[in-house]
Structure 1
Amino acid sequence: MRSSSLFYYRIFLLLNRILWPFILPVLFCVWAFSPRSRPHFLERLGLSSFSSRYPETMEVSSGKILFHVASLGEANAATPLIRKLSESFPLVLTATTVTGREALKKNFPLLPVSLAPIDLPDLWIPFLKSRQIQKILLFETEIWPSMLLCAMRLGIPAGIVNARLSTRGFRRMSRFRFLFSRLFGSLKTVVVQSGEDLERFRTLGVPKQDVHLAGNLKWDIPDPLKGGTDSSLLSEWVQRAEKIWGSENRRPFRLLLSSIHPEETKRILAAIEKGAPYPLFLHVLIAPRHLERLPEFRSFLPKSLLVQDRHDFFFMEEKNVLHGHLFLSLLDTYGELRALTVLADLVVVGGTFDPVGGHSPIDAAAAGIPLVSGPNVDHIREVVQDLSDGGGMIQLPGPDLLSALLLEQMKSPEKREKMGQKNREVFAAQRGALQRTMELLKPFLEEMSPPSKRTDL
C-alpha cells in the first residue's frame, strides 16, 4: 500500500474512532424509530451471518469476489453479468438499498446476499476479512472511500464494471481530486459504458491502460418480445380499469410514466389536463420510482378520476369533459415495471422533467415503445443520444408540450409504430456489452488466491 494511501486510510480510521461516540446514538435512533430498518439492521453493521451453496466443482477456499450494486435498477441490470461470473467464481453480493438486496436475493437464492455495511473502516475491515474477499467489483458509480481504502489496506484489488460518471458527479469529484485521485488510481480495472466516461475516469486518476470501453450492460436484458417478459397478470389489471370505464369498443391510449417522481408527475398531469379532451380515452399508468413516496402521489391524484392501485382500486362517478377521457392506474409494487412497459403506447422517462438526470429507457426501447423525455438526461445521456438519433425518442424542453405530442401520437398510429421499430433497431445494434465485459475482465479475474493476511489492523 502506497504511503499516501496509507495516510488517508489512517485519517479515515482515526475519524471513525473519534466519531463512534456520536455514531452509536444515531444508530440507536435509526433502530428505535425506523421499523423498516430493523429487519436488516445487523447487515448495515456488517455483523450478519451468511450462507451459500456453491457448486461442488468450484474452489471456494481460495477467496471470493464481492460484487456490489446500488439499488433495484442496478441489481436487475447486473444480473446477466453476475450469472456469468457465478458460473466460474464464488461470489458475495451486496447492495446499498433494501430493494436492491431483495432483487439480488430473488435472482440468486443460493448466493450470500446482504446490505453493504455503513462506509466506515471499523465495519468494512472485518466484513472483508470474515468473508475471505479476494477481489471487489463495483457496478456503475458505487464509489465508497472507506471500502476502497480498506480494500487497499488488505491488498484486495478492486474494479468497476458498466462504469459511468455523470457531468455533475465528475465535476464534484474533480473539485476533490486530491482525495479521489488516490481512490481511482488504486482501481485495477474500469470497464466503462462510453468514450466520454473513459476520458473522465482517466482524468480522475485511473491509469490509462486500466480503463476499457465495453458499452452499456443494460442493453443486454432479455428481449421482452421473445418470451422474456410475462405481462398477462398486468394486462388483466390494466384492462379491468378500462372495462369499468366503459371503453371496450376502442382500446384507450396508454401513457406510462416510468420511474416517475411526485413533482414531475404533478406537472405532467397538469399539462395533460390542459390538452383535454382527446380523440381517445387516455389511460395514464403511473409507476413511481420510490414506493415509499406513494403517499405523496395519492395526496394530489384527482379523487374524481378512476384511480386503481395494483392491489386494489376504487372509482367515483363524478365526471366532466376531462375526466370522461382520462383515468389513472398507480403501480404500487416492485419488479413489475418491465412487464407493464410492454403494454404501453408511449413511455415518459422519469427523472427527466425534474433535475434528477433520468432513469433508464432501455426496457421501453427493447419492447419497441416510442419514448419521450424531458431535458434532464445527464445520467442516461448516451442512451438518449442513441435513441434520439435513431428516431424513436423525442426530447421536450418541458411538460407543457406533452399534450400536443399525445394528440399527434393518438392520430398517427403509423408514426408511433415506426418510432417503436426504430427503438427496436437501436436495441438490437447496442447489444453485446456482456460478452465484451467478460473478455475485458479476464486479466483482473486471473490468479484467484487468498488475500494477504494482516495482523496489524
Structure 2
Amino acid sequence: MLNLFQHLLSVPPLPASPTSFWRESDLIVASRGATGDKFRMPIIFDSIYLAASVVGAPYTLFKMLTSERHRSGLYQRFGMVSERTSKKPGIWIHGASVGEVITAKSIIEKIDQEFPEWETFISTSTNTGYSVAKQNFSDKPVFYFPVDLSWITKKVLRRVKPSCILLIELEIWPNFLVSVYEKNIPLIIVNGRISNKSFKTYQIISRISEAFYNSLTNKMNIYCARTELDAQRFCSLGIPSEQVFVTGTMKYDNIPTHIDENSKNELANLFHIKDNDLVLIGGSTHEGEEEILLRVFERLNKTYSNLRLIIAPRHIERTRDISRLIEKMGFVPLLKTEIEKSVYKWRNTNKEVILIDTVGDLGKIYSLSNFVFVGKSLVPFGGQNMMEPAGLGKPVFFGPHVFNFKEEVDLLLRNEAARLVETEDELWGSIEFFIKNPEAAKEMGLRAQEVVNGKRGATERNMEIIRKILESKSS
C-alpha cells in the first residue's frame, strides 16, 4: 500500500510501477467472486488510495520533510495547475521521468512542426523529469502529473482542456484513464510496453471494473507497441487488434551519436581535462556504487596517473553524502556548480574527483569519456540507460542488475558492444584491459554506435499514426 500513498504525496513508487499495489488484488477478486460484478470504479480506487495514505503517512511525511525531491510539485500534483487559456486544440504529452521525457522530444518537435495550429504541453511524475522537461521545452507549459484521485484527475482535465492525450510507454493510472474516457478524449500510447506483471494486473482490474475495461478498450484509443509481444498482450486485454500497432521504440531516435565539438571543448576546459587524459565516468550511480568506483579508480590510478574520474549520481540530492564519501576515501570532491563559479583553485593532482550536481547534462558529459560505467546495476535496482553513451561510441560497462533494460542489454551483448561486469574486480579488470588495448575499446564503442543507428525510425512510424488522428480532428 505504501506505493499508492507515495504516489499521492509525490514520492516516486517503489518499484516504479503504478500497478505494484495489485499484487494484493487477488483478495478483491476473491471477495467479488468469479461473476465480475460491476461497480463504480472511482469510489473503489479513491477508497484504496486514501486507506493507503493513512498506512504510509509516517514514512512519506518523513521523506517529504527531509528531501526536496519528495515534496516537489505538491500543489500541482493535487490539481492546482494553471488553466490553459489558448484557443488552440491541445495535446497533453506525459512522460513519467527523465527517460520518457527525452524519448518524447523528437515526437513533440515533429508535432510542433507539422501541426502549428495545435498546442503541446508536457507533464511528468518526478522532479528530475520536471527539470529536464523545463530545460528542453522552456517555451511550453510543464507540470506534474496529478495523483490518481478521481476528483483531482477530473479537475486537471477541466483546467488543461486536452483534445488528445499522448502517453509515453505505459503510465496508466485507473482513475485517470476513466476520467479521460468520460471526457471523450482520445488516448494514444507510444513506445508502449507492458510487462507480464502489468499485464496480469490490468487483467485483474478489468475483471473487477467495467469502467476500467471500457476505458482501456475505448475505440478512440491507439496503442503503438514496442514489440510483437507487447502488442499481443494489449490485444489479450480485449483491445481490438485494429487499434494496436507495432512501431518499435523511439528511444533510439533521440540518442545523440555526436556532440558539438565546441560544447565538448568547453566542458573539457571547465573540468581541466587534457588531451592525454583518460576519463572514466560513472553515470546515474546509486548508493554503494560510488564507493566501488572510487576503489577501482584508486587501484587504476596507481598505474595510470592520467586517469580522471567523473561521478554523476542518479539523484543529485545525494551530492552531500557522496562528497563526504570522496573525502573519507582520501580524494578531493569538485562539484560542477562550484567549478562553474570559478571558486575552486585546481591542484592538478590525481586526487580530484568531479561530482556532477546538475540535471540534464549527462549526455554532453559522456562525450568526454573514454570509459563509462552505467549505474544502478551493481546494486539490485534495475539499471539505467546505457544506450546514451553507446550512441556516442563509448565503451560501456554495467553490472548484472539490469532487469529494467533487458532488451537493450541483450542487444548490446549480442553484438559484443558492451561489457557486463559481475563484481568490482571485474570492473577494474575490464577497464584496465581497454586502457591497455585502445583499439579494442574503439571497436567496441563503434559496435555500440552501430547498434543504436540500426534501431532508429520508430518516431516516424508513430507519427504516421498520430498524423491521421490529428488531421481527422482538425478537419
Correspondence list, 1:108-123, <5 A? 108-123=137-152
Question: Do 1:284 and 1:326's aligned partners in 2 also have CA atoms closer than 8 Å?
Answer: no
Residue 332 (structure 1) shift: 0.8
- The answer as to 2:359 corresponding to 1:334 is yes
User: Which residue of structure 2 aligns with residue 455 of structure 1?
Assistant: none
One-letter code aligned to 1:124: T
Question: Do 2:84 and 2:161's aligned partners in 1 also have CA atoms closer than 8 Å?
Answer: no
CA distance 1:426–1:21, change in 2 (3 Å): closer
User: Which residue of structure 2 aligns with residue 132 of structure 1?
Assistant: 161
Secondary structure in 1 matching 2:359? coil
For residue 77 of structure 1, the aligned residue among 77, 97, 103 is 103
User: Which residue of structure 2 aligns with residue 190 of structure 1?
Assistant: 223
Question: Do 1:365 and 1:423's aligned partners in 2 also have CA atoms closer than 8 Å?
Answer: yes
- The answer as to 2:99 corresponding to 1:67 is no
User: Which residue of structure 1 aligns with residue 286 of structure 2?
Assistant: 261
Correspondence list, 1:18-417, <5 A? 33=65, 36=68, 40-50=73-83, 60=88, 63-87=89-113, 88=115, 89-166=118-195, 170-171=196-197, 173-175=199-201, 177-179=203-205, 182=213, 184-186=216-218, 188-221=221-254, 223-225=256-258, 227=260, 230-239=263-272, 251-271=276-296, 273=298, 277-303=302-328, 304-312=330-338, 327-417=352-442
Question: Do 1:31 and 1:41's aligned partners in 2 also have CA atoms closer than 8 Å?
Answer: no
CA distance 1:399–1:205, change in 2 (3 Å): farther
**Bigger relative contact order (CA 8 A; separation at least 6):** 1
* Distance in 1, Cα, partners of 2:248 & 2:54: 43
CA distance 1:114–1:199, change in 2 (3 Å): same
- The answer as to 2:472 corresponding to 1:439 is no
Once the two structures are superposed, residues 31-61 of structure 1 have per-residue CA deviations (whole angstroms, 9 ceiling, x without a partner) of 99479477744312212324577xxxxx72x
Once the two structures are superposed, residues 242-286 of structure 1 have per-residue CA deviations (whole angstroms, 9 ceiling, x without a partner) of 5xxxxx6x7232111111112222234345556663345321211
Residue 335 (structure 1) shift: 1.5
Residue 315 (structure 1) shift: 9.0
Secondary structure in 2 matching 1:12? helix
* Distance in 2, Cα, partners of 1:39 & 1:194: 34
Residue 19 (structure 1) shift: 6.3
One-letter code aligned to 1:215: G
Secondary structure in 2 matching 1:448? helix
User: Which residue of structure 1 aligns with residue 13 of structure 2?
Assistant: none
One-letter code aligned to 1:373: F
One-letter code aligned to 2:370: D
Question: Do 1:305 and 1:315's aligned partners in 2 also have CA atoms closer than 8 Å?
Answer: no
What TM-score do you get using the length of structure 1 for normalisation?
0.80
Question: Do 1:261 and 1:351's aligned partners in 2 also have CA atoms closer than 8 Å?
Answer: yes
Question: Do 1:374 and 1:399's aligned partners in 2 also have CA atoms closer than 8 Å?
Answer: no
CA distance 1:410–1:327, change in 2 (3 Å): farther
CA distance 1:177–1:406, change in 2 (3 Å): same
One-letter code aligned to 1:292: E
Residue 396 (structure 1) shift: 2.0
State the number of aligned residues.
Answer: 422
CA distance 1:6–1:235, change in 2 (3 Å): farther
Secondary structure in 1 matching 2:110? helix
* Distance in 2, Cα, partners of 1:141 & 1:325: 45
What TM-score do you get using the length of structure 2 for normalisation?
0.78
CA distance 1:280–1:34, change in 2 (3 Å): closer
Question: Do 2:333 and 2:352's aligned partners in 1 also have CA atoms closer than 8 Å?
Answer: yes
Residue 129 (structure 1) shift: 2.0
Once the two structures are superposed, residues 300-342 of structure 1 have per-residue CA deviations (whole angstroms, 9 ceiling, x without a partner) of 224421321112366999xxxxxx8664211111121111001
CA distance 1:15–1:366, change in 2 (3 Å): closer
Question: Do 1:305 and 1:316's aligned partners in 2 also have CA atoms closer than 8 Å?
Answer: no
CA distance 1:30–1:396, change in 2 (3 Å): closer
* Distance in 2, Cα, partners of 1:269 & 1:416: 21
Residue 429 (structure 1) shift: 1.6
CA distance 1:21–1:162, change in 2 (3 Å): closer
CA distance 1:302–1:39, change in 2 (3 Å): closer
Question: Do 1:52 and 1:111's aligned partners in 2 also have CA atoms closer than 8 Å?
Answer: no
* Distance in 2, Cα, partners of 1:175 & 1:41: 28
Segments of structure 1 that go 5 or more residues without pairing to the other structure are 54-58, 243-247, 318-323, 451-457
One-letter code aligned to 2:373: V
Secondary structure in 1 matching 2:185? coil
One-letter code aligned to 1:305: F
Question: Do 1:5 and 1:149's aligned partners in 2 also have CA atoms closer than 8 Å?
Answer: no
CA distance 1:103–1:325, change in 2 (3 Å): closer
* Distance in 1, Cα, partners of 2:373 & 2:264: 19
One-letter code aligned to 2:227: S
* Distance in 2, Cα, partners of 1:226 & 1:33: 39
- The answer as to 2:44 corresponding to 1:11 is yes
One-letter code aligned to 1:391: E
Q: CA RMSD in A?
A: 3.5
* Distance in 1, Cα, partners of 2:53 & 2:442: 61
One-letter code aligned to 1:189: I
Identify which range, 194-203 or 147-156, moves more after superposition.
194-203
CA distance 1:277–1:195, change in 2 (3 Å): farther
* Distance in 2, Cα, partners of 1:180 & 1:235: 54
* Distance in 2, Cα, partners of 1:4 & 1:65: 35
Question: Do 2:257 and 2:449's aligned partners in 1 also have CA atoms closer than 8 Å?
Answer: no
* Distance in 2, Cα, partners of 1:136 & 1:381: 28
Identify which range, 391-400 or 175-184, moves more after superposition.
175-184
Secondary structure in 1 matching 2:81? coil
Segments of structure 2 that go 5 or more residues without pairing to the other structure are 1-35, 208-212
One-letter code aligned to 2:269: E
